Amino acid sequence: MPTQLISLAEIDLSIGGETLFDKATLAVQERARIALVGRNGSGKSTLMKIAAGLVEPDAGERFIHPGVTVRYLPQEPDASGFKTLGEYVASGLDEMGDPHLGEAMLEELGLTPDASPQGLSGGELRRAANVQALSAKPDILLLDEPTNHLDIPAIAWLENKLRQTASALVLISHDRRFLQTITTETVWIDRGATRATGKGFREFESWRDKFLEEEEQALHKLGRKIVAEEHWMRYGVTARRKRNMRRVGELQAMRKQLKETRRPQGAANISIQSGGASGKRAVVAEHISKSFGDCTIIDDFSIEIARGDRIGIVGPNGAGKTTLINILTGALTPGTGKVTLGTNLDIVSLDQRRASLKPEMRVADAINDSTGDWVTINGHKRHVATYLKDFLFEAEQWRQPVTALSGGERGRLALAAAMARPSNLLILDEPTNDLDLETLEMLEEQLAAYEGTLLLISHDRQFLDNLVTSVVTTDPDRSARWIRYAGGYDDMVAQRGSAPGMENAAPKTKPLKQAVTGARPKSAAKAKLSYKEQYALKNLPGEIDTLQTQIAALKTKLEDPDLFAKDAALFDIAAKDLAAAEESLAAKEEEWLTLEMRREEIESA
């Protein structure tokens, strides 16, 4: 039987008079792989700090098996006070540790052990902090947001190391694919309690939804039972003669249970304001290039982005993703080439660094650009405080300064500010940073229903797969050359032969490059329809009906024997329109038939 390395039992903790934990528990056995999940503010980081021995609870017991070593990665690692990265990594080793292992890991991640920690980017500091924790080879690794600010190659590197380690793992992360890949157990912090599922994160969301549904049904039954008991108390024959004190006590206990039951926090009510329709071509870039000094970031790239396209832009940190998106939207001028923006564009951007959120501004000012305390959402005037409630802010927070917000709250505020502006071209640069899983799911649903054009930079592979219809990334043979691939992230990897930045991490296969409009090879096909295919399958029948109606009307017009004599030009136009409509109808019927056969094949597999 596996040894229990750490256990937390009956943990109580209150902060500022509010109960954070009520009889919370956590058990970590040898080689455990635990995902610690919950809403922002539910106490995930605090529970991990209690497990690490850094926070003392109000009540409860922490047991750690004698001789067990623990390494804790904080959400905000701090390398200040160290002269070099090698010194920072070595500070996490005990007398039995091997400093050469840490140096080797740093070099694998493109970091130099002799480099100064000062001035590192968030992603570089996170890489060094992960190396510090991993190189110690502890019995237990407690990792709080180890994937924050990491690009996809660094996340893949971390996944590989964690799969190989003998250490028990407790992980907090908002990267769903990462948790699905690594974990075999899930502990959910919900309204002060911990609920262990015994299953990995891959099965957590369906388990959670079923749990909440059953809980709501139980509360509904309790409410009905209370109503029945209250009726008996007022009108029962026995009650009028002599009250049954046992039933009176039971009724009081049920009332207390219903009153004290903490309901789940509501989901964010995110809605995206859509502007008017843009032109059919949103962005056209022709042979654009961009260099900074001797470093070429983009070399001879062309793309046409049609209205309604959903394009993911991915690549390693420093590849030039933000530069590319700034050129495509007119915020930056290319060195050579030409960018043409479509007509009637309403562009709204969410930048990665949330630069629009000034620390000294009020939360309300981020929504309305300091023009007052009211905002118009989808034609309706609303007070900023009520609008912010949709994004899970408390009533009084609209007056607070931005500096008072947590990282997750700042992420939600930036989203609220972006979504308050009408758009038909939405630019999102790392929108999932610091969002909890529930808010992320709501954002995903709204973006899936968004009718405008979407340009998305993200390191969240599942988010990309669920939303985009094509991916733009660097050429595996020439980093400054960018290529557009059909499908989502997994489709791109299959066509390309490797993930961007991972070309040398595994034996290289021949990339299966293709035009966006080309047919996808069977070897790259996923066991589901892509978003684009699902959209087409849903909308093609309506388009076919419209064409059939047009064709019938045109045939009726051409059957008029006097039309040619009255207006030969109009007759010619109608004849050409009929031929074009019949050709379009044949193509759409063929496309629908192909998709329907593919759907049936997938469902029967």
Q: Judging by beta carbons within 10 Å of its beta carbon (0-12, 13-18, 19+), is residue 564 exposed, middle or buried? A: middle
Average pLDDT over residues 72-78: 91
> What pLDDT shows up at residue 370?
64
Q: Are 399 and 363 in contact (CB under 8 A)?
A: yes
Lowest-confidence pick of 119-133, 338-352, 582-596: 582-596
> What pLDDT shows up at residue 512?
37
Please report how many Cα atoms fall inside a 13 Å half-sphere around the Cα of residue 178, on the Cβ side.
29
Looking at 490, 524, 558, which one is the last position of a domain?
A: 524
Q: With bands split at pLDDT 50, 70 and 90, how would you rate the model's confidence at 556?
A: confident
Q: Are 582 and 554 in contact (CB under 8 A)?
A: no
Q: Are 523 and 509 in contact (CB under 8 A)?
A: no
Domain identity same for 62 and 30: yes
Domain identity same for 174 and 216: no
* % pLDDT > 90, the chain: 38
User: And the tokens for 376?
Assistant: 């118009």
Q: Does the pLDDT of residue 507 top 60, yes or no?
A: no
> Which DSSP string do the residues of 108-145 spell out, in sequence order?
HTT--TTS-STT--HHHHHHHHHHHHHHT--SEEEEES
> What pLDDT shows up at residue 605?
57
Domain identity same for 67 and 125: yes
- Give CA separation, 573 vs 126, 564, 585, in Å: 64, 11, 18
Domain identity same for 573 and 493: no
> What pLDDT shows up at residue 240?
45
pLDDT per position as a tens digit, 203-250:
998 898 888 888 778 776 767 766 666 655 555 544 444 556 565 566
> What pLDDT shows up at residue 205?
87
Looking at 492, 524, 556, which one is the last position of a domain?
A: 524
Q: What is the DSSP letter of 1?
A: -
CA-based nearest residue to 165, from 144, 187, 136: 136
Average pLDDT over residues 391-402: 82
- The CATH code of the domain that includes 172 is 3.40.50.300
The helix or strand, by DSSP H or E, that contains position 223, with its residue range, turns out to be helix 204-235
Is residue 160 situated within a structural domain?
yes
> What pLDDT shows up at residue 171?
97
Give the three-class secondary structure for 260.
helix
Q: With bands split at pLDDT 50, 70 and 90, how would you rate the model's confidence at 261?
A: low
Find the angle CA(438)-CA(314)-CA(513) to the nearest 5 degrees.
Answer: 125
Average pLDDT over residues 290-313: 92
- The CATH code of the domain that includes 584 is 1.10.287
Q: Does the pLDDT of residue 576 top 80, yes or no?
A: yes
**For residues 305 and 316, what is the distance between their CA atoms, to the nearest angstrom?**
23
SS (H, E, C) 84-101: CHHHHHHCCCCCCCCHHH
Q: Does the pLDDT of residue 517 top 60, yes or no?
A: no
Is residue 548 situated within a structural domain?
yes
Please report how many Cα atoms fall inside a 13 Å half-sphere around the Cα of residue 432, on the Cβ side.
28
Mean pLDDT across the chain, nearest whole number? Answer: 82
> What pLDDT shows up at residue 149?
85
**For residues 9 and 363, what is the distance between their CA atoms, to the nearest angstrom?**
39
> What pLDDT shows up at residue 255?
62
Q: Does the pLDDT of residue 557 top 70, yes or no?
A: yes
User: And the tokens for 531?
Assistant: 């978003």
Domain identity same for 191 and 301: no
* % pLDDT > 70, the chain: 83
**For residues 259 and 389, what is the distance between their CA atoms, to the nearest angstrom?**
23
**For residues 523 and 546, what is the distance between their CA atoms, to the nearest angstrom?**
35
**For residues 69 and 137, what is the distance between their CA atoms, to the nearest angstrom?**
9
Residue identified by tokens 């996490």 is 92
Name the pTM for this structure: 0.70
Domain identity same for 307 and 389: yes
**For residues 426 and 455, what is the distance between their CA atoms, to the nearest angstrom?**
6
Q: What total of structural domains would you count in the chain?
A: 4
> What pLDDT shows up at residue 519?
36
User: And the tokens for 252?
Assistant: 């009081």
Domain identity same for 306 and 255: no
Residue identified by tokens 């290529």 is 483
Under 8 Å CB-to-CB from 237, ≥6 apart: which residues?
A: none
**For residues 209 and 594, what is the distance between their CA atoms, to the nearest angstrom?**
35
Is residue 270 situated within a structural domain?
no
Is residue 57 situated within a structural domain?
yes
Looking at 480, 502, 524, which one is the last position of a domain?
A: 524
Q: Does the pLDDT of residue 365 top 50, yes or no?
A: yes
> Which DSSP string do the residues of 151-200 spell out, in sequence order?
-HHHHHHHHHHHHH--SEEEEE-S-HHHHHHH-SEEEEEETTEEEE-SS-
Q: What is the DSSP letter of 432?
A: T
Q: Are 142 and 69 in contact (CB under 8 A)?
A: no
Instruction: Considering only residues 44 and 276, tell me which one the structure prediction assigns the higher pLDDT.
Output: 44
Give the three-class secondary structure for 337.
strand
Residue identified by tokens 């499908």 is 487
Instruction: Considering only residues 283 and 234, tell me which one the structure prediction assigns the higher pLDDT.
Output: 283
Of the chain, the end-to-end C-alpha distance in Å amounts to: 39
Domain identity same for 344 and 287: yes
Q: With bands split at pLDDT 50, 70 and 90, how would you rate the model's confidence at 315?
A: confident
Is residue 327 situated within a structural domain?
yes
> Which DSSP string do the residues of 475-532 spell out, in sequence order?
-SS-TT-EEEEESSHHHHHHHHSS-TT-TTTS---------TTSPPPGGG--SS--HH
For residue 353, what are the domain limits?
281-524
Sign of CA dihedral 438, 439, 440, 443: positive
Q: Judging by beta carbons within 10 Å of its beta carbon (0-12, 13-18, 19+), is residue 478 exposed, middle or buried? A: exposed
> What pLDDT shows up at residue 13?
95
The helix or strand, by DSSP H or E, that contains position 548, with its residue range, turns out to be helix 531-558
Give the three-class secondary structure for 210.
helix
Domain identity same for 489 and 550: no
Domain identity same for 574 and 459: no
Lowest-confidence pick of 147-161, 288-302, 361-375, 529-543: 529-543
Average pLDDT over residues 47-65: 96
Q: With bands split at pLDDT 50, 70 and 90, how would you rate the model's confidence at 83?
A: very high
Q: What is the DSSP letter of 366?
A: H
Q: Does the pLDDT of residue 513 top 60, yes or no?
A: no
AA letter at 136? A
Is residue 267 situated within a structural domain?
no
β-bridge mates for residue 37, sequence order: 188
Q: Does the pLDDT of residue 488 top 70, yes or no?
A: yes
Lowest-confidence pick of 297-311, 334-348, 376-390, 507-521: 507-521
> What pLDDT shows up at residue 314?
92
pLDDT per position as a tens digit, 172-203:
998 999 999 999 999 999 988 999 999 999 99
CA-based nearest residue to 72, from 100, 47, 96, 106: 47
**For residues 408 and 424, what is the distance between their CA atoms, to the nearest angstrom?**
26
> What pLDDT shows up at residue 147?
92
Q: Does the pLDDT of residue 499 top 90, yes or no?
A: no
Each residue of 381-411: b (16+ CB within 10 Å) or e?
A: ebebbebbbbbbbeeebbeeebeebebbbbb
Q: Are 197 and 184 in contact (CB under 8 A)?
A: no
Is residue 276 situated within a structural domain?
no
Average pLDDT over residues 365-394: 80
Q: Does the pLDDT of residue 520 top 50, yes or no?
A: no
Q: Does the pLDDT of residue 475 top 50, yes or no?
A: yes
> What pLDDT shows up at residue 306?
93
Domain identity same for 436 and 535: no
> What pLDDT shows up at residue 603?
66
Average pLDDT over residues 500-529: 45
Domain identity same for 494 and 513: yes
Is residue 274 situated within a structural domain?
no
**For residues 261 and 146, what is the distance between their CA atoms, to the nearest angstrom?**
34
Q: How many CB atoms lie within 10 A of CB 237?
A: 7
